[in-house]
Structure 1
Amino acid sequence: MKKRYLIYCTVLLMAVATSVSAQLNHLKEDTKMPEHPRILLLQGEEKAILKNIAADQNWAKIHQVIINESDALLNQPTLERIQIGRRLLDKSRECLRRVFYLSYAYRTTNNKKYLARAEQELLKVAEFSDWNPSHFLDVAEMTMGVAIGYDWLYHDLPQSSKDIIREAILKKGIEPSLESKNNYWLKNSNNWNQVCNAGMSYGAMAIFEDNPTLATQIIDRAISTIKIPMGDYKPEGAYPEGYSYWGYGTSFNVMFLSAIQKVLNSDFGLSEAPGFLKTAGYFQNMIGTSGKNFNYADAGNGASLSPAMFWFASHNKDNSLLYIEKNYLKEGPKSMERNRLLPAAMIWGKDLSLDNASAPKQLQWVGQGKNPVAMMRTSWTDPNAIYLGFKAGSPSVSHGHMDIGSFVMDANGERWSMDFGMQEYESLESKGIKLWGMTQNSERWQIFRYNNLAHSTLSFDKELQRVDGYAVIEQWSSKPNFLNATSDMSAIYKGKAKSATRGVAIVDKKYVAIKDEIISADAPTTVRWAMLTPAEVKIEENGTATLSQNGKKLQLKVVEPANASIKTWSTEPPHEYDAANPGTTLVGFEVAIPANAKSNLTVLLIPEGTKTITIKSIPALKEWNK
């Protein structure tokens, strides 16, 4: 019975592969590949990395982090197939990290202890019953890790081990991606497409000579379908899913491009997709002067070295893209060893000098697309500089929040206006919350951190923003003394406001202005202006409040309306399933607006220690860029 089943599976696989091979769009049926190792780093290319390590202490630091962590892995138990909820993803990611690090350590030192430890890990995950194809990211990352190990260690692994590992790549990695129930991501316009196509292609490249027809099909399929999410970078490179998912989707996209360029001598024009090479500017400008990122949507607020930035710096021939990466190295490893793609930085940066990574010249970055954003700052080199990030777009974008009009603001090394970012998915899914619905009445929007009532933006009558609405960045200016951007958010508040436009600006390089111009709908409404802050709030007289944190202060001053009464709202979670939000406060005010009436709201955020402030009247938004 078992033999008959194996024959059936083999015949089925050959039929699928044969039918698809006739439909190749980019590759030829007789496509060839270099000998092993072929993925990312050919035999002998380690020499350039070692030369860079010897010449540049920055590269030596990254290299040593990988070696030290590889040593730490030697005596750890191998991974076990322990699934958490619907995910095996943490094990897949750890497999990728371990195998990539150990394989790199072996190729750069020739010390067989790293080879032996990597072989143990590869054989253990190859024994898993499966790599969890129902959540295919798990399969993709596991396949990438195993493929790198198989390819990089190919000539030194015993044949018996190679047979087991190759079979696992085929049966637990690639073959499940041929089933429609598992490969829905091929049509997705998000990080799943990028990660899964990259993982499957790595598997195909690793076992190419044993399965050339199938491998060619998989790579050709990836070249065709990864174009879908790459279309979301246009026109300027703003990544719709935000900082954290840029670090995921874009990094794996680059892993794919780099690998196919190496083995096929072409990326088939993919890197020239509109906005893609520009997206490095987006990612760099997402880091504020506090060191935190602009963590809108499902993002955390941490920031650390990104290997993908070395690929972009090389392709754009722009070392200034590594300015922040160089600063991370100056600060120390900073959990760098947890980055599973860290060895790729050594490959992509082998011809770059971090000593030449000067500060960027532009102080403002604006990108349109599905989730338009504007970021601006008074300096790249002054640790006390002001930083302002402003978001438009739509809640309906993948991983989106009801955060249209929200802003983050840094000054004096602190974040004053913040964003909660994501809540850990399993904490919600395990309680039965339907997290991924994106319609107006979806349960997603009842999660406290996800709706507009917990963001630094407007709300009308405590109602939610409209998921079918969209706001563009209408105008902006990079004038040094009035960096600004505005967005018409009317569609986001449909039914409550005929018009709602927000402008944000850094005035005279000294303070921030937030201005809203509103025309109410056919019924009276109460609008709430709120800012989420980690600071302690002391309400003063005359429409002002003093915010304090870490011995520093900032003044919040309401200019319009003149009679505004500042108040605070608790961030205590309303539901049992919501994450706790200690040390945070919502500060702002409410204004009652009659039907069909105009109302302007203007708030200034003035950092402590600003010299000789002359508060200007903030003009109407239409006058901002004249």
Structure 2
Amino acid sequence: MNRRHIFLLAFCIQVCLRLSAQDKPLTVTTKLPGHPRILLLSREEALLKRAVAADKTWSSVHQVILAECDRIVPTPPVERIQIGRRLLDKSREALRRIFFLSYAWRMTGQEKYRTRAEKELLAVSAFSDWNPSHFLDVAEMTLGVAIGYDWLYADLSEASRATIRDAILKKGIEPSLDPKNNSWLTATHNWNQVCNAGMAYGALAIYEDKPELARTVLNRAIESIVLPMDDYAPDGAYPEGYSYWGYGTSFNVLFISAIEKAFGQDFGLVQRPGFLKTAGYMTNMAGPSGMSFNYADAGKNPELQPALFWFANKARDPSLVWVERGRLLRGEAAANVSDRLLPSIMLWGAGMNVDKIPAPASTTWTGAGRNPVALMRTSWTDPAAIFVGIKGGTPSSNHAHMDAGSFVMEADGVRWAMDFGMQDYNSLESKGVDLWNRKQNSQRWEVYRYSNRVHNTLMVNDSLQRVDGFASLTGSSRNPLFQSATVNLSELYKGSLTSASRGIAIVDQAYVVVRDEIAAVASPARVRWTMLTGTDVKLIGKNRAELTKAGKKLIVEVQEPAGITLQTWTTNPPHSYDAPNPGTTLLGFELAMPAHTKDVLTVLLLTEKAVSQLKKPVLPLGDWLRK
């Protein structure tokens, strides 16, 4: 090769490297503010202080945070105590304390908060590691330590800075570069969102000391986090359900909010299909009682969702925080001091006039995607309103249960049809349960709360739903006199039924209809219809049951097939590792279907005011959209 060829080759390599660098979101020319640069820039506290002074609601939340900080101040720092495979509860508590105390320091300048935050930072920096084998632990710890380091930076001694900075690097960022720890980079679920957020915060915190490494980590995050974000398409329904929306989406918002503050742009992430729409999903997931449609691995107790204020501002739609408005006005911030992200509600919400937040315009919300869902109610302002949620989807989705076709229902302030939600993971893992294997015959589906046996759906021939099946949302109606949604469950019962469709509707804003249209295969099928309830159940006829709670009443009536006998089943679980389920009952019936036959199951859920009301004929599901 002659000298000219060598020169041309070297020139081409330089151009390619330069183009490659330019293709990255962040380059060597990217500018970054000084500390503090994460979420709240220097002197932005003044805006928050004005909002606190001008609005009693935000003043109340602010005081709740300060009061909790005063409680934290005399407590010892967290210790490295691992529970099973997780250090996560310690990481979360450290994040909570550091975030709260750092906020209090920046807003008040009181030395007690800075001193206590520094003490926590140094304590966790001294841990042997942050448990990289379960990387969520590292991610949340890194995020918390990064906030503390950044927000206290100017007031930390150089020795403290060095210790904390080294911990962020050695115990946070560097383990994320090891392939054995970073499979989350290709995940499409909350691990990707949480871990990328944690590593990005670490990179932002130590950017000036390790600029090339920091850019690598941040570019990696910007490019990787689109994977779970793509699962919000097309309508915003979050595949992992209510609780994991509160986890994955909140950390996704923390990530976007931080890079917007630091770099003045979001690199196109906010406009990913379905992402801004997901706030509508979360708002509509709460019933009039405040309880959520807690399908999949969701907890029972709903929490304040600070991230919804970020969405409301981005979408310029304050109705997206209608549910959070109610929680704030009821003073629920004080009950949410265990929420490690609570200070972020001040960053994203303070300044919004809570008293003037309007109710959403629509009482129906539907979302397609990996876990389709339909959510309907008769009113946003009436606490006695009827609320119904139904889902499709697949058991193969992350954190899913065998609950395709399942529904919840509220009326008169009572959750009549309920879902157990999740069981504590460690209570199962510590007893050797193979919890995370989602294959058809895995032990996961032997856990009592996880199979279709105790969800408000169908069980055929005492068999599980098909893990490889998918239930699509096939139609919906916003007609106020017939709000409805239908799902095709056929794939979930392949081999037992040739077809299965379910529809659920709120009729005349007075009662609910659940209709199933099913067809048996070339062999007989035994179909069980169930509804889980936490109410007192009294059978008052072959096809009728009376449910009572808190002085309220609901009648469950089977219209079709004729001759059906309602019955109840205990919810005492079969295994020692299963959680107990006191105060709950399974109500339903069984149907024997000869081979090659079709049948219709029609059940009415009648509120007290609807019991004596003339009921409309229930049409075939194919005619529902014409109503």
The structural deviation recorded for 1:536 is 1.2
Matches within 5 A, 1:88-167: 88-167=87-166
Aligned to 2:316: 317
Which amino acid in structure 1 is aligned with residue 126 of structure 2? Answer: E
Which amino acid in structure 2 is aligned with residue 529 of structure 1? Answer: W
Aligned to 2:504: 504
Matches within 5 A, 1:170-569: 170-333=169-332, 335-569=335-569
Aligned to 1:64: 63
Aligned to 1:572: 572
1:24–1:220: 8 Å Cα contact kept in structure 2?
no
* CA–CA separation in structure 2 for the residues paired with 1:541 and 1:615: 19
Q: Secondary structure at the match of 1:76?
A: coil
- Per-residue Cα deviation, 1:444-475 (whole angstroms, up to 9, x for no partner): 00001000001010010110000000011100
1:370–1:397: 8 Å Cα contact kept in structure 2?
yes
1:544–1:558: 8 Å Cα contact kept in structure 2?
yes
Q: Secondary structure at the match of 2:523?
A: coil
Q: Secondary structure at the match of 2:287?
A: coil
Q: Secondary structure at the match of 1:324?
A: helix
* Larger deviation, residues 608-617 vs 113-122: 608-617
Aligned to 1:12: none
- Per-residue Cα deviation, 1:337-359 (whole angstroms, up to 9, x for no partner): 11111111111123422122111
* CA–CA separation in structure 1 for the residues paired with 2:248 and 2:456: 27
Which amino acid in structure 1 is aligned with residue 308 of structure 2? Answer: M
Q: Secondary structure at the match of 2:440?
A: coil
1:558–1:604: 8 Å Cα contact kept in structure 2?
yes
1:65–1:336: 8 Å Cα contact kept in structure 2?
no
1:38–1:262: 8 Å Cα contact kept in structure 2?
yes
* CA–CA separation in structure 2 for the residues paired with 1:179 and 1:252: 22
2:51–2:350: 8 Å Cα contact kept in structure 1?
yes
2:21–2:27: 8 Å Cα contact kept in structure 1?
no
- Per-residue Cα deviation, 1:414-441 (whole angstroms, up to 9, x for no partner): 1000000100000000000010001101
* CA–CA separation in structure 1 for the residues paired with 2:351 and 2:331: 22
The structural deviation recorded for 1:57 is 1.0
* CA–CA separation in structure 2 for the residues paired with 1:315 and 1:563: 55
1:506–1:512: 8 Å Cα contact kept in structure 2?
yes
Q: Does 1:54 align with 2:53?
A: yes
* CA–CA separation in structure 2 for the residues paired with 1:62 and 1:173: 31
Q: Secondary structure at the match of 1:282?
A: helix
The structural deviation recorded for 1:22 is 5.2
- Per-residue Cα deviation, 1:232-251 (whole angstroms, up to 9, x for no partner): 00000000000000000000
Q: Secondary structure at the match of 1:218?
A: helix
* CA–CA separation in structure 2 for the residues paired with 1:622 and 1:193: 40
* CA–CA separation in structure 2 for the residues paired with 1:55 and 1:149: 27
* CA–CA separation in structure 1 for the residues paired with 2:355 and 2:316: 14
The structural deviation recorded for 1:301 is 2.1
The structural deviation recorded for 1:611 is 7.6
The structural deviation recorded for 1:24 is 6.0
* CA–CA separation in structure 2 for the residues paired with 1:19 and 1:178: 23
Q: TM-score, normalised by structure 1?
A: 0.96
* CA–CA separation in structure 1 for the residues paired with 2:573 and 2:409: 24
* CA–CA separation in structure 1 for the residues paired with 2:304 and 2:584: 27
Instruction: Give the gaps of 5 or more residues in structure 1.
Output: 1-17
* CA–CA separation in structure 2 for the residues paired with 1:579 and 1:185: 30
The structural deviation recorded for 1:25 is 2.2
Identity %: 57
The structural deviation recorded for 1:21 is 8.9
Count of residue correspondences: 609
The structural deviation recorded for 1:20 is 14
- Per-residue Cα deviation, 1:322-346 (whole angstroms, up to 9, x for no partner): 1111110122235221111111111
* Larger deviation, residues 542-551 vs 63-72: 542-551
* CA–CA separation in structure 1 for the residues paired with 2:400 and 2:150: 38
Which amino acid in structure 1 is aligned with residue 174 of structure 2? Answer: E
* CA–CA separation in structure 2 for the residues paired with 1:313 and 1:474: 29
Q: Secondary structure at the match of 1:294?
A: coil
The structural deviation recorded for 1:30 is 3.1
1:31–1:216: 8 Å Cα contact kept in structure 2?
no
Q: Secondary structure at the match of 1:398?
A: coil
Q: Secondary structure at the match of 2:260?
A: helix
Which amino acid in structure 2 is aligned with residue 429 of structure 1? Answer: E
- Per-residue Cα deviation, 1:533-562 (whole angstroms, up to 9, x for no partner): 001111111410001112211000000012
* CA–CA separation in structure 1 for the residues paired with 2:18 and 2:512: 61
Which amino acid in structure 1 is aligned with residue 59 of structure 2? Answer: A
* CA–CA separation in structure 1 for the residues paired with 2:616 and 2:352: 46
Which amino acid in structure 2 is aligned with residue 608 of structure 1? Answer: E
* CA–CA separation in structure 1 for the residues paired with 2:515 and 2:372: 18
Aligned to 1:618: 618
Which amino acid in structure 2 is aligned with residue 150 of structure 1? Answer: Y
* CA–CA separation in structure 2 for the residues paired with 1:432 and 1:20: 51
1:98–1:340: 8 Å Cα contact kept in structure 2?
yes
Aligned to 2:6: none
* Larger deviation, residues 547-556 vs 232-241: 547-556
1:475–1:485: 8 Å Cα contact kept in structure 2?
yes
Q: Secondary structure at the match of 2:337?
A: helix
- Per-residue Cα deviation, 1:468-503 (whole angstroms, up to 9, x for no partner): 000111000000000000011000000011010000
* CA–CA separation in structure 1 for the residues paired with 2:373 and 2:30: 42
1:561–1:602: 8 Å Cα contact kept in structure 2?
yes
1:319–1:354: 8 Å Cα contact kept in structure 2?
no
* CA–CA separation in structure 2 for the residues paired with 1:487 and 1:620: 13
* Larger deviation, residues 345-354 vs 116-125: 345-354
1:513–1:605: 8 Å Cα contact kept in structure 2?
yes
2:542–2:566: 8 Å Cα contact kept in structure 1?
no
Q: 1:23 to 1:440 in 2, by over 3 A?
A: farther
Q: Secondary structure at the match of 1:381?
A: coil
Q: 1:376 to 1:241 in 2, by over 3 A?
A: same
1:386–1:412: 8 Å Cα contact kept in structure 2?
yes
Instruction: Give the gaps of 5 or more residues in structure 2.
Output: 1-16
Q: Secondary structure at the match of 1:208?
A: coil
* CA–CA separation in structure 1 for the residues paired with 2:206 and 2:405: 49
Q: Secondary structure at the match of 1:528?
A: strand
Aligned to 2:12: none
* CA–CA separation in structure 2 for the residues paired with 1:425 and 1:117: 32
Aligned to 1:10: none
The structural deviation recorded for 1:304 is 2.1
* CA–CA separation in structure 1 for the residues paired with 2:495 and 2:611: 44
1:21–1:29: 8 Å Cα contact kept in structure 2?
no
Aligned to 1:32: 31
2:243–2:298: 8 Å Cα contact kept in structure 1?
yes
* CA–CA separation in structure 2 for the residues paired with 1:181 and 1:87: 17
- Per-residue Cα deviation, 1:600-624 (whole angstroms, up to 9, x for no partner): 0000001123485111110000011
Aligned to 1:75: 74
* CA–CA separation in structure 2 for the residues paired with 1:47 and 1:22: 38
1:36–1:152: 8 Å Cα contact kept in structure 2?
yes
Q: Secondary structure at the match of 2:343?
A: helix
What CA RMSD, in Å, does the superposition of the two structures yield over aligned residues? Answer: 1.4
* CA–CA separation in structure 2 for the residues paired with 1:20 and 1:608: 69
Q: Secondary structure at the match of 2:415?
A: strand
